[in-house]
Amino acid sequence: MNGMRDNSAIPDTIFLLIIINGLAFACQQFFPGLIDQYFALWSFNSYRSDFMLWQLVTYGFLHGNTTHILFNMFMLWMFGRELEGIMGPRNFLIYYLTCVVGAGIVQLIIASLQGGQYATVGASGGVFGLLLAFGMAFPNRVVMLLFPPIPMKAKYLVILAGLMELYFGVSGTNPGIANFAHLGGMLFGFLLINHWKQKRSG
């Protein structure tokens, strides 16, 4: 397959994304205030830093801690390696970045409505978009959940993940997590996949 060495290897685009995320995280450790000030996604209402357009992309390469980046990079590899093979490296990168930007747009809207004074970081919007695409491409593929460790078909995992993010976002019972941004990544991924389908059928 294009962009795939084998089913367990790291495809070229995913490898590049992991490297960039790792380098960005290293920069955060050495220059935390500077990197977060200019490259995290700041809400319009924030008094700590200004929103700048490039933050809609760069926030997706920053992370809050080691657990955060390791989990997201594992999910990027887990759900992305086969998708890069069927999409091709170029479309895979377009799809992933579309989900990151879409998640950022949704997060800005929610933060503005809530009067948020915080910054958002993390690749989770892109990762949730990959989860959606994986579920649409391989709906009956059985995957093993991490928490709890039970097998589940991909299509049900997507539904469960979406419902959980919606519940946590509306209820506010999972503070510090950008639940609506995760949903935004899934939404923009769904829209792009359907756009591509319509272009192929047209």
Q: Tell me if 3 is assigned to some domain.
A: no
Q: Tell me if 5 is assigned to some domain.
A: no
Alpha-carbon distance 80 to 90, whole Å?
Answer: 13
Q: Tell me if 110 is assigned to some domain.
A: yes
Which amino acid, residue 18?
A: I
pLDDT tens digits along 101-156: 999 999 999 988 887 678 899 999 999 999 999 999 999 999 987 767 889 999 99
Which of 62, 66, 67 minimizes the C-alpha distance to 32? Answer: 62
Q: Tell me if 1 is assigned to some domain.
A: no
Q: Tell me if 145 is assigned to some domain.
A: yes
pLDDT tens digits along 64-101: 999 999 999 999 999 999 999 999 999 999 999 999 99
Region 39-55: what's the mean pLDDT? 86
Q: Tell me if 6 is assigned to some domain.
A: no
- What is the domain range of residue 138? 12-201
Structurally, the chain folds into a number of domains equal to 1
Residue 45 corresponds to which tokens in the numbers above? 């209402």
Residues in contact with 188: Cβ distance below 8 Å, sequence separation at least 6, in sequence order = 98, 99, 101, 102, 103, 105, 129
The CATH number that applies at residue 139 is: 1.20.1540.10
- CA end-to-end distance (rounded Å), the chain: 25
Q: Tell me if 7 is assigned to some domain.
A: no
Q: Tell me if 4 is assigned to some domain.
A: no
Q: Kindly state the helix (H) or strand (E) to which residue 102 belongs, with its residue range.
A: helix 89-114
